[in-house]
A and B are shown apart, each in its own frame.
Chain A
């Protein structure tokens, strides 16, 4: 009987559809509005044009902020990915005191509101006399992304079959060679996943980031936010559309890299 395990299925479908509409329609409106010719955006547009796209690409601020963002994202993804991997390995394989408390401590950046991360780190950096630079962003974004990379890598190491390493060492490989030849190819796909996630988190972070930027190191969400708050120009829709494209493309590229790493690891 088809309906037996489907409790109120049509109602469930209807509510689900409603949730999809609420999540996707706003994004669709942004993309459509970036082609809107009118200065004061109304929807649906009465006239379409590419003039905001042209103005957008003539403006350095946007291109710079986008470039900045990608740069910060890549650096913090690499840092968070590596630290997360090493820490997760330690947490899974070694015994040490206060382990439970320390693993909660690793996750605190997920629990502390971003405004407080932004305020407290700014006070701290100023106190120790560290000049505001792009490194503030890289270090702090790596910190914010660290719990996520840590969790991904920890569950990977839980599943790891350590007898493979033992086999390599019995056959005469030292620890470093074992790590290079056995451990790292096996966990590489998860590292890629972790780094892609870290990049996405860094790319989209706004609330804490607004405290760390200065004019030359500004980032896309900060630019969009200040444009929306002050003068709404249709160019903001072009920037958002571009970011939508990037944020959807990057994980897809990540998946392709992961497949590639996986296929190489499988052969080795």
Chain B
């Protein structure tokens, strides 16, 4: 059997596992390292975009005095209920060559001809960011809303500027919410499947779609299993680093209201 030939499904037997084909599979797994790196890179970018926007909305919801606040909070919670596939494919109509965004950009005069947005990395990141946003907004909201405003006022009475009061009081006190939001954003974007396949370009082959293709189209179950294992080990390593800085269980409870 040549080293790179896809192993067929029939060979995936108990004895096959025990015999161990790591030597055969290692080059294949090594070839997927760029895919793993792409996934990690996409999740870091997504997290960096989600954090400021999600924090701002969470802060807004916690501090607004508006009577519409329950409705506004409800609109965020509703995002959890709508299936991810629907929230993602909705962008196809918006991002297309004749889509709303291109029409808007052309009517304002920013661009003269339609720009490619759909099936690009930017399109994929946009889809990821919007679909993951509620996971940042809600933990930040619950963290900020527990901060006593008197504490912030006290800081200002003692002479702190608005900016300084934010950095030295509000931000540290809302840290648990931020940690929880970052954890969810990272896990969800590192494992994302729908946004890369529906909105991403041919070069956006993140690890999750690659595993799925190897599994269902090539029927190469052992390779899919090997890839999954490498991927899980990578995530486990990152989670371990996370637990050294924060409490994992507490962070996972963060999306509850």
- Interface of A with B (CB < 8 Å)? 4-8, 12-13, 15-16, 18-20, 22-27, 29-30, 33, 41-44, 103-104, 107, 110-116, 118-120, 122-123, 127, 147, 151-152, 155, 200, 203-207, 210-211, 220-221, 224-225, 228-229, 232, 236, 240, 243-244, 247-248, 250-251
Give A73 to B230 CA distance when docked, in angstroms: 32
Q: What residues of chain B lie closer than 8 Å to A18, measured between beta carbons?
A: 53
Give the residues in chain B near A243, CB-CB below 8 Å. Answer: 82-83, 86
Contact across chains for B99 and A116 when beta carbons are under 8 A apart: no
A23 to B55, CA, bound (A): 15
10 A-B pairs within 8 Å (CB atoms) are namely A7-B163, A7-B165, A13-B60, A23-B130, A116-B231, A120-B225, A123-B12, A204-B84, A207-B193, A207-B208
Which one of A113, A207, A244 lies within 8 Å of B235 (CB-CB)? A113
Complex formed: what's the CA distance from A201 to B161 in Å? 44
Where chain A touches its partner, the secondary structure class is: helix
B90 contacts across to A, CB distance below 8 A = 26-27, 29-30, 240
- Is A119 within 8 A of B228, CB to CB? yes
B residues lining the A interface (CB < 8 Å): 12, 14, 52-54, 56-57, 59-61, 63, 72, 75-76, 78-87, 89-94, 98-100, 129-130, 133-134, 137, 149, 152-153, 156, 162-163, 165-166, 170, 187, 190-191, 193-194, 197-198, 208-209, 211-212, 215-216, 221, 224-225, 228, 231-232, 235, 239, 248-249, 252-253, 256
Residues of A within 8 A of B89 (CB): 224-225, 228, 236, 240
- Chain A nearest CB, measured from B48 CB (Å): 15
Find out whether the CB atom of B57 lies under 8 angstroms from the CB atom of A15. Answer: yes
- Roughly how many angstroms separate A224 CA and B86 CA in the complex, as a whole number? 8
CA of A107 to CA of B250 in the docked complex: distance in angstroms? 11
Report the number of A-B residue pairs with Cβ-Cβ less than 8 Å: 195
Cα A16 to Cα B99 with chains together (Å): 23
Alpha-carbon distance A130/B194, docked complex (angstroms):
28
Task: Please judge, given known A-B contacts A5-B152, A113-B191, A119-B211, whether A104 and B248 are in contact too, CB under 8 Å.
Answer: yes
Taking CB atoms, residues of chain B closer than 8 Å to A19 are: 53-54, 56-57, 133, 137
Which listed residue, B53, B78, B79, touches A15 by the CB 8 Å rule? B53
List A contacts of B76 (CB < 8 A): 23
Bound-complex Cα distance A124 to B16 (A): 14
User: Bound state CA distance, A122 and B12, in angstroms?
Assistant: 12
> Hey, which chain B residues are within 8 Å of A33, CB to CB?
93
Q: Which residues of B contact A120 (CB under 8 A)?
A: 225, 228
Question: In the complex the two chains form, what is the Cα distance from A123 to B17 in whole Å?
Answer: 12
Cβ–Cβ < 8 Å partners of B156 in chain A: 4-5
Smallest Cβ distance from A212 to chain B, in angstroms?
Answer: 12
A43 to B104, CA, bound (A): 11
Across the interface, B211 reaches (CB within 8 A) one of A42, A115, A127, A220, namely A115
A228 touches B198 (CB 8 A): yes
Question: How far apart sit A211 and B213, CA to CA, in the bound complex (Å)?
Answer: 11
The distance in angstroms between the C-alpha atoms of A151 and B248, with both chains bound, is 13
B93 with A12: CB separation less than 8 A: no
Given A6-B162, A26-B87, A113-B231, 18 more contacts at CB 8 Å?
A7-B162, A12-B59, A15-B52, A16-B56, A22-B129, A23-B75, A23-B130, A30-B90, A42-B98, A43-B94, A43-B99, A110-B252, A119-B215, A204-B83, A210-B216, A224-B85, A225-B89, A243-B82
By a CB distance below 8 angstroms, the chain B residues around A203 are: 83
B82 near A225 with CB under 8 A, answer no
Compute how far the CA of A76 lies from the CA of B8 in the bound complex, rounded to whole angstroms.
Answer: 33
A158 to B245, CA, bound (A): 26
Min CB gap A248→B, angstroms: 6
Indicate if the CB atoms of A225 and B93 lie closer than 8 Å: no
**B56 CB contacts on chain A under 8 angstroms:** 12, 15-16, 19
Q: Which residue, of A30, A113, A240, has the highest number of chain B Cβ atoms within 10 A?
A: A113
Per the bound structure, the CA–CA distance linking A232 and B198 in Å amounts to 12
Whether the pair A26, B187 counts as a contact (CB closer than 8 A) is no
Q: Which of B92, B93, B231 has the most CB of A within 10 A?
A: B93
Task: Give the interface centre of B72, B75, B90, B231 by most chain A CB atoms within 10 Å.
Answer: B90
Indicate if the CB atoms of B53 and A220 lie closer than 8 Å: no
Answer whether A220 and B83 are a contact pair too, CB < 8 Å, given A5-B156, A26-B91, A116-B232. yes
List of 5 A-B pairs having minimum Cβ-Cβ separation, nearest first = A113-B191, A26-B90, A204-B83, A7-B162, A115-B208
With beta carbons under 8 angstroms apart, the residue of A12, A26, A123 that contacts B130 is A26
